[in-house]
Structure formats: structure tokens, C-alpha cells
Amino acid sequence: MRDESDSMLSNAWLLAYLLPVFSIIVGVSFIFMTVLLLPMGGAVGGAVVGLLVVGMIAVVLLIIIGFIVNLVLTYKLVKRRNTHFKRQQFLLEDIVAAAKTLAEKKRADAEVGLSSCERTVREFKAEETEKGAVLWAILSAVPYVGSLASWYIYYFLMKDFYKHEKREDGFWEDIGKLLDKCGVKFSAPRRSESIPDRSFVLYLILSIITVGIFGIYWLYVLLKDPNTHFKYHMQVEDQLLSTLESMKL
């Protein structure tokens, strides 16, 4: 399921944020050129009017394309959050079940460790509920409501992955101790880069102060953090599952 759920999103999606800005620059440029050249009249004036019409059409097309791309990006960001969290819950349940079987076979005193791991799985299920990807994508495009919806989407995407990673680190530690009691050596590799606890309020203020320019970095963070998280996941999963598969349960 990993290839389908943990999709790596390219930084090229930053263009979704830049397209509306680019369309404004293009529109202002054409208007400025018209103001300067139209007084010349004659053939030049006619050409300028034609150029202005073409420019306005280009601006409208850029706005429409940017609108569609932003809808698609919002959908993708929310959907991969949902699919990763759901797959993670399935994975952890199977790991706990395998560890429980092993503990019973080895007659290991693993009740406390199993209880801790099972509690963490329950926390994953309770805290990481699904968000409607289609619904939030549509709400982000609704006039007047769109900005508030987008800010909330940015908020839960940023915070949910941070909490998810911290909760997950605790699980890897607990499962390592549990397997150790069963005579199996497993230790999750150290993260090369952890998701920091980013301040939503600070990011929001910076976005407002910079008239949206800081939003480019904010979107970059929402693309990068899950990508980094998924890459680490591959290492841990492959190592852990290889260890479990090598046992005769």
C-alpha cells in the first residue's frame, strides 16, 4: 500500500501558489504598456489595443489554471495525509499482532509492552481521523470562505504530521523494547530530520505581513515535511518487516 498512500509531491507544485501572482504581474504589465503606448494613436494604438486584449485573455487563462491547480493540490495534500495515516494504523496493528504471537511463543513477560503499543495504536485511531479531501478542496475555493479554509488546512496538515511523528517515535521505541524481551534485536534508525513544532500563529502573521509572499515557504514546508517523513518510514518499515519475516512465528 505504501506506493499508493505515501505519494511524494514535487516542489514544482509551488507553481500553484505562484500562478495567481504571475497573472497579476502580467495584467499590470499589459495595462502599463497600454497607458504608455496608446496615446501614439494610429497603427501603433490599434496594435496596443490588440495586445491588451491578448494580455487580458492570458491573465484570465492563468487565473483559471491557477484556480484548478490549487484545487488539485489541496486535494492531494489532504488525501495523502488520510491515506498515510490509515495505512500506518493497519501496519502498526499487524506489527503488534506479530509481536504478541512471538511473545506467546517465547513465553516472554511482555504484557506491559503490549499494552503500551496497543494503547498507542488506539491513540492513532482516535486522533488521526480522516479529513474530507474533496470537501476541503472545494471550501478552499469558495469566495470569502476560501482563505479561512486554506489557513485551517495548512494548520491541520502542519500540526497533524508533527503529532503523528512524535506518537510514532514512541511506538518504535516501545516495539523495540517488546521485541528485545522476546529475544529479537530491533532498533529504529535515528531520524536525519524531524518535523519541528512549527508555530501556526507565527506563520499566519508572517504571511499577512508579507502580503502572502511567506506563503510560498509555508507551502514548501507542507510539501517537504511529509516527503521527509515518508522516506524515513521506508527505512524503518523495511528493517522491521525484514526482522519479523526472518522469524518463525
Contact in structure between 146 and 66 (CB atoms under 8 Å): no
Q: Comparing C-alpha atoms, which of 117, 240, 94 is closest to residue 174?
A: 117
Q: 36: pLDDT confidence band, cut at 50, 70 and 90?
A: low
Task: Return the HEC string of 158-214.
Answer: HHHHHHHHHHHHHHHHHHHHHHHHCCCCCCCCCCCCCCCCCCHHHHHHHHHHCCCCH
What's this model's pTM, rounded to 2 decimal places? 0.84
Tell me the per-residue pLDDT of 194-230, one tens digit each, with 9 for 90 and over.
999 999 999 999 999 988 888 889 999 999 999 999 9
- Name the residue ranges covered by the structural domains of the chain: 81-245
Tell me the per-residue pLDDT of 114-144, one tens digit each, with 9 for 90 and over.
899 899 999 999 999 999 999 999 988 887 7
Contact in structure between 26 and 107 (CB atoms under 8 Å): no
pLDDT in the model for residue 41: 53
Residue 35 or 102, more confident: 102
From CA 113, how far away is CA 175, in angstroms rounded? 7
Tell me the per-residue pLDDT of 15-28, one tens digit each, with 9 for 90 and over.
877 777 666 676 66
